[in-house]
Chain A
Amino acid sequence: MKKIVIAATLFSVACLLVVAQTKKPVQKTADSPAASIERGRGVYQRECLSCHQADGGGVPHMNPPLAGSTDVVGVDKKKIIGIVLHGMTDRIPLDDEYYSNNMASHANLTNQQIADVLSFVRNSFGNKADVVTLAEVAAVRVGKKK
């Protein structure tokens, strides 16, 4: 009896492993949108969460929300790629509100990390938009390199 149980357990574990292994590459190839968004979550937690907060809600009057931001889900992705690369101290109204803090440049991140984190914020906190690709980030970085 015991043996049967163990065998059954082993079998199901093996099945799960096989399923997991076969499933992964199908759903998330290295450059699939889902994989990029998932990697972006980690970048967000490390680089952005302290200011823009866990729910993307920002800090009133200080750091703008990314949740529901017009620019974040905008068609013109160059703008937000530029903000991550060069930081932002413009003090222009964002969705009709001013924010007082300085956003630092994150030029130390790789193009892939920037694509990932922006894909994440464009698809989190209720936002929905197409992902940002490596090529799109590379174009902005080259175009604006100091």
Chain B
Amino acid sequence: MIKRCIFLFIVTTVSFFVRANDNTYNDSTINAGLKLPKGFVAIKAANSIGQARHIAITSNGIVYVKSAKAINGKATYVLKDVDGNGNLSIVSSFDNKGGTGVAIKGGYLYTSTNNDIYRYKLNKNNEIVDTNAAEKIVEGLINRGEHNTKSIVLDNVGNIYVNIGAYSNSCQEKDRVRGSKGMSPCPILDSAGGIWMFKADKLHQTYKDGIRYATGLRNIVGLDWNQQTNSLFVMQHGRDQLFQNWPQYFDSVQGAELPAECMYELHKGSNCGWPYIYYNHLIHKKIVAPEYGGDGKIEGGKEYQEPLMVFPGHLAPNALLFYTGNQFPDKYKNGAFIAFHGSWNRAPLPQAGYMVAFVPFKNGKPLGEWEVFADGFSGKEVVTSTRGAAHRPCGLAQGPDGSLYVTDDSKGTIYKISFTGN
């Protein structure tokens, strides 16, 4: 008996210390490990939702998530907060084709693979009527591996916009080969490196049925329709390897910091200048790409659009969301949240990103500078190798109560961030 008591005493004491230690050394239990502004809280609403890319939430709280890869033959997930405690449970999962895009509009759920766009009819409760009755609305979009994900968003008059990323870094004759010249004019721009517009309700559309809405955009993953300005906003992934491929013009610090990741407001016919120019946010200038005769100093491309907001290089903006909810403080209203997937091309410097940023907006224009909103997804102070980041923000959605949801395509975590004021 005494022996047993001592044993129990030891077990409880040890487990107490283990727990205490857990809390002291790893505060992953507080706000799901995220650093947030005062008054905000976060939970991991779900875990292991495939490789969760983009996310869309209906007005009655049904959460649709697209996974990059089908896990056990399922790449589209339907989740719900069944118990009303914030935790999301999987209601169903279907669709054996991985992808990135998911959007809800006019009684339909739209999803994209890396080649095609589908839609599913929703009933009046925003549930999919028949998961086997997917309608293919766009097909045969270019997919050559590099920058092949297709992000989608809809406007309010029946059009769907899709990113077709350039299958190249800087349109070189030989992609990513040191010193290889840029092709002039860049032939990729005919079928990629821009945003294409299609009809949201017409089946089996191909390139010839759509229009190239905007061009000169290397790769867009984060995009949103701004309801205030009634226009399309996008976040470009800027080009890589200035230092690695052009060491005569750039050092490793410039290579890590340049070029800017740019936010653009697009209209029909917009041209943002890829591959001919890149944006240097340190001096606020458009600079001729070295593949096209630049040396890191020569300015160029007056005809190309100016970015509305600029971020450090290679942070990889994978989602953009204009906040229209009432839960967050006033400053956030109509402002832009941006989920940064985190870098790989900042080596030999440490990697960066792996956070959600915020840009305040007024009357459809950025007001002041961007700031970090939610940080700590990587779970590390310093990330020296991209795979070392525990979580990588990839998708954003606003819940019906005004909470912000963030997906992570590394572990399939879905974060729910709310404002409590405490």
Contact = CB atoms under 8 A, between A and B. Distances in A.
B101 to A, nearest CB: 16
A61 interface: yes
B146 to A, nearest CB: 5
B410 A100 contact: no
B347 A55 contact: no
Contacts of A57: 385-388
Contacts of B82: none
B241 A55 contact: no
Given A45-B348, A100-B146, A54 B244 contact: no
Nearest to A49: B347
B39 interface: no
B347 A54 contact: yes
Interface in B306-328: none
A53 B344 contact: yes
B348 A60 contact: no
B174 interface: yes
A104 B174 contact: yes
B377 to A, nearest CB: 14
A103 B384 CA distance: 21
Contacts of A104: 174-178
Interface string B134-158: 0000000000111110000000000
Contact of A61 (B68, B144, B147, B176): B68
B144 to A, nearest CB: 8
B34 to A, nearest CB: 21
Interface in A57-90: 57-63, 65, 87, 89
A101 to B, nearest CB: 6
B175 A102 contact: yes
A60 B388 contact: no
Contacts of B240: 50
B345 interface: yes
B239 to A, nearest CB: 13
A91 interface: yes
A61 B387 CA distance: 10
Contacts of B175: 102, 104
The number of chain B residues touching the other chain, given as a range, is 20 to 34
A108 interface: yes
A99 B348 CA distance: 22
Contacts, number: 68
B344 A62 contact: yes
B166 to A, nearest CB: 11
Contacts of A50: 240-241, 244, 344-345, 347
A60 B385 CA distance: 10
Given A100-B146, A102-B146, A105-B177, A53 B385 contact: yes
A110 to B, nearest CB: 14
B176 A54 contact: no
Contact of B384 (A51, A54, A62, A105): A54
A87 B168 CA distance: 14
Contact of B145 (A55, A102, A108): A102
A126 to B, nearest CB: 13
A54 B386 CA distance: 9
A123 to B, nearest CB: 19
A101 B175 CA distance: 10
Contacts of B147: 100
A27 to B, nearest CB: 28
Interface in B369-422: 384-388, 392, 410
A101 B241 CA distance: 13
B345 A65 contact: no
B385 A54 contact: yes
A58 to B, nearest CB: 7
26 contacts: A49-B347, A53-B385, A53-B386, A54-B347, A54-B348, A55-B384, A57-B387, A58-B387, A59-B344, A60-B386, A60-B387, A60-B410, A61-B51, A61-B68, A65-B387, A89-B144, A91-B145, A99-B145, A100-B145, A100-B147, A100-B148, A101-B146, A102-B176, A104-B174, A104-B178, A105-B177
Interface of B: 51, 68, 144-148, 168-169, 174-178, 240-241, 244, 344-345, 347-348, 384-388, 392, 410
Given A50-B244, A60-B410, 14 more contacts: A53-B347, A53-B385, A55-B384, A58-B386, A62-B344, A63-B344, A89-B144, A91-B145, A99-B145, A100-B147, A101-B146, A102-B168, A104-B178, A105-B174
- What are the 10 A-B residue pairs with the smallest beta carbon separation, nearest first? A104-B176, A53-B385, A59-B344, A104-B177, A57-B387, A55-B385, A59-B386, A100-B145, A57-B385, A102-B175
